[in-house]
Amino acid sequence: MEIKDIKSVYFIGAGGIGMSAIARYFINCGLVVAGYDKTPSELTRRLEKEGMLIHYKEDVNEIPFACKQKDSCLVIYTPAIPDNHAELTYFRENAFEIQKRAQVLGTLTRHMKGLCVAGTHGKTTTSTMCAHIMHQSHLDCNAFLGGISKNYGTNYILSQSDYVVIEADEFDRSFHWLSPWMTVITSTDPDHLDIYGTKEAYLDSFRHYSELILPGGALIIHRNLEMKENIQDGVKRYDYSLNEGDFHAENIRIENGTITFDFISPIENIKNIELGQPIPINIENGIAAMAMAQLAGCNADELRYGMKTFGGVDRRFDFKIKSDKLVFLSDYAHHPKEIYQSAKSIRELYKDRHITAIFQPHLYTRTRDFYLDFADALSQLDEVILTDIYPAREEPIEGVSSQLIYDNLKPGVKKQLINKDQVLDLVKERSFDVLIVLGAGDLDNMVPQMAKILNEK
């Protein structure tokens, strides 16, 4: 089905962060947009206000009439939806055009210049940062992001630009549908081993992704990754890191709540870049975002202004309370390397304060595969409160629980194991100096209540 033939679009798993960005694209195109999701959320409520028809009961009878016309309805689903889902089964049995969200993004990268960001961690912040730099520049861009940009209050940017910024997701090999003009690869620490099976298969998936970069484009890859890229003739290769590589930072200054550095580049060095969201890990994310924007054609003033005005991403080092008496923030970090970087950044910012983390592990398989790494990363902090595992798409695995992480935290770390439904009571009873909520599960839904409790104290 050609995009011009589509009159309605139906989403199965409408409330996912990546799915909602595509839904917003089709809403803006003036099409009938509808879908199913398991539970209401702030995101689904916002989509409904924007014009999307969403229901929360798995029922073919709830599908709108316009979305039952197979010659004009495109069905988009997320890999997290089970194969036996009643609505997905209906569309398959009636020979509808059905695509994964990644296939739709792939089509868009073949119609525009795709600026993609892939990697185990860092991709949401880096892609959102790049989209902000591009959008406020003379080039402009479209964007499909994996998080809500605080600058725009959405995960989607629509413009008349030839450029599209896309977060390239490796889950279920989704990024293999893309045709990047340029891509950043931030990291390749093994993850999703329930899908890939082995570390080697995971790394090979990134190698194949690098083959998809279009001639005339570029690969911007973090130095010293284990993956071996295999780029086509005509694709330029650059590397980056914090303090070495084709793109890097020099003269880093962290003082009085601000972070400033000089951006070193083979195109043009730029002095005194100030981070709008002054978090140490964002220096490296910013280097990657600026590298891609600069290669696309952004000038020095546009890079400097874009970085200074970047407001961050919801759930990415997201401060809710920031005072001399109390700091409270949430962070989506759910892989050991992400937890490590988050803990390292907060320790750098608050060297002499007592830092407590409430961590909800995400997935039984990830906990089983990396519990020692999780324990090691969390042990940088003074205190760790662990909740039960958020299962997402998985069934429990015998012998796998948060206890595995708890038992391997280093001596000296104060620790506690609680159920999720005990969290609010614990926040009411305890006092904190610096408190961070970590994880990709549903604990973040409690963050507004936690902030209210802490503010009332």
In a domain, 391, yes or no: yes
Residue where a domain terminates, one of 51, 76, 99: 99
Q: What is the CATH number of the domain that holds 81?
A: 3.40.50.720
In a domain, 162, yes or no: yes
Alpha helix (H) ranges present in 136-258? 193-196, 199-211
300 and 338 share one domain: no
CB atoms within 10 A of CB 237: 13
Q: By residue range, what is the domain housing residue 149?
A: 112-308
Q: How far apart are CA 37 and CA 44, in angstroms?
A: 8
Q: What is the CATH number of the domain that holds 428?
A: 3.90.190.20
Q: How far apart are CA 195 and CA 85, in angstroms?
A: 20
Question: Which residue, among 102, 117, 245, has the nearest Cα to 183 in the 3D structure?
Answer: 117
85 and 181 share one domain: no
pLDDT digits (tens, 9 = 90+) for 373-401: 999 999 999 999 999 999 987 899 999 99
Give percent of the chain above pLDDT 90: 74
64 and 194 share one domain: no
Computed over every residue of the chain, the mean pLDDT equals 93
- The one-character DSSP state at 213 is S
- How many domains is the chain partitioned into structurally? 3
205 and 300 share one domain: yes
pLDDT digits (tens, 9 = 90+) for 122-166: 999 999 999 999 999 999 999 999 888 999 988 889 898 999 999
* Alpha-carbon torsion (336, 338, 343, 348), positive or negative: positive
290 and 184 share one domain: yes
CB atoms within 10 A of CB 411: 5
368 and 391 share one domain: yes
pLDDT digits (tens, 9 = 90+) for 206-257: 999 999 999 999 999 999 999 999 999 999 999 999 999 999 999 999 887 7
322 and 404 share one domain: yes
Residue where a domain terminates, one of 68, 99, 130: 99
CB atoms within 10 A of CB 223: 14
34 and 159 share one domain: no
165 and 278 share one domain: yes
339 and 393 share one domain: yes
Residue where a domain terminates, one of 276, 308, 340: 308
128 and 95 share one domain: no
In a domain, 104, yes or no: no
